[in-house]
Structure 1
Amino acid sequence: MSDIHPDVQAALDAARDLRHRIAELRDRINAIHARRPSPSGAVVPEIDAMGRLTDLYLAPGTVDRFDSDQLAAEIMAAIRESTADAGRQYRQLMDSDPWPVTEPAVGGAA
């Protein structure tokens, strides 16, 4: 027989469930990565859900093909598109009701 009051046990169970939900949501957020190519397709950045640049691919010969202003424009265009895509993915995840409401457990005898 347990010495824990049913209301305390219900609170502990709810806290454990919340920790699991938070961990699952964090994993789903961490899985978001957007890779949108530049207009020429020569530059592909990778942006995470927080808008951080995590990788940048430049196709072979890209640096030789563009002058510095054109290359900067290619990189920035691709980063803007990837950032917008990552933001859309994040909003879609958050709008999908990641926290479905469940009925709280009702304790037993007082």
Structure 2
Amino acid sequence: MSDIHPDVQAALDAARDLRHRIADLREKINTIRARRPSPSGAAVPEVDAMGRLTDLYLAPGTTERFGNNELIAEIMAAIRDSTADAGRQYQVLMNTEPWPEPAAQANGGAA
């Protein structure tokens, strides 16, 4: 027979389950990618859920077609759009994920 009190065991089990759910959520977050093209379609960045640029595609001839400032504007516009899209994907994930009730509410307000 176990020497652990049932309430302690329940808390340990809940903590283990929460750790697993957090790990699963991290995996889902790590798969978020957004690729929104620039206004001309010449640049397509890839941004992750944390807003980090992970890749950048430039169509052939893009660097010859645009001047420096125009190219910067194209790339930055696409990065801004991609970052916003990745942020939306993150918010959808966080808002649809079922979260457990806090212990105080689950026990009818008793702490």
Consecutive unaligned residues of structure 1, counting only runs of 5 or more, are none
**Alpha-carbon contact 1:10-1:105 (below 8 Å) kept:** no
Specify whether residues 71 and 99 from structure 1 end up closer, same or farther in structure 2 by C-alpha distance, changes over 3 A only: same
TM norm structure 2 = 0.86
Q: Deviations over 1:12-55 (max 9, x none)?
A: 10000010111111111111110001111110101111111111
**Alpha-carbon contact 1:25-1:98 (below 8 Å) kept:** no
Specify whether residues 105 and 84 from structure 1 end up closer, same or farther in structure 2 by C-alpha distance, changes over 3 A only: closer
Specify whether residues 105 and 91 from structure 1 end up closer, same or farther in structure 2 by C-alpha distance, changes over 3 A only: closer
Specify whether residues 95 and 61 from structure 1 end up closer, same or farther in structure 2 by C-alpha distance, changes over 3 A only: same
Q: Which amino acid aligns with 2:61?
A: G
Q: Is 1:26 aligned to residue 55 of structure 2?
A: no
CA deviation after TM superposition for structure 1 residue 69, in Å: 1.1
Considering fraction of residues, name the structure with more helix.
Answer: 2
TM norm structure 1 = 0.86
Residues paired across the two proteins, number: 106
CA deviation after TM superposition for structure 1 residue 81, in Å: 0.7
SS at match of 2:24: helix
Say which structure, 1 or 2, has more relative contact order (CA 8 Å, 6+ apart).
1
Superposition misfits of 4+ residues, deviation over 4 angstroms: 102-106
Seq. identity, % = 76
Q: What is the RMSD computed on CA atoms of the aligned residues?
A: 2.1
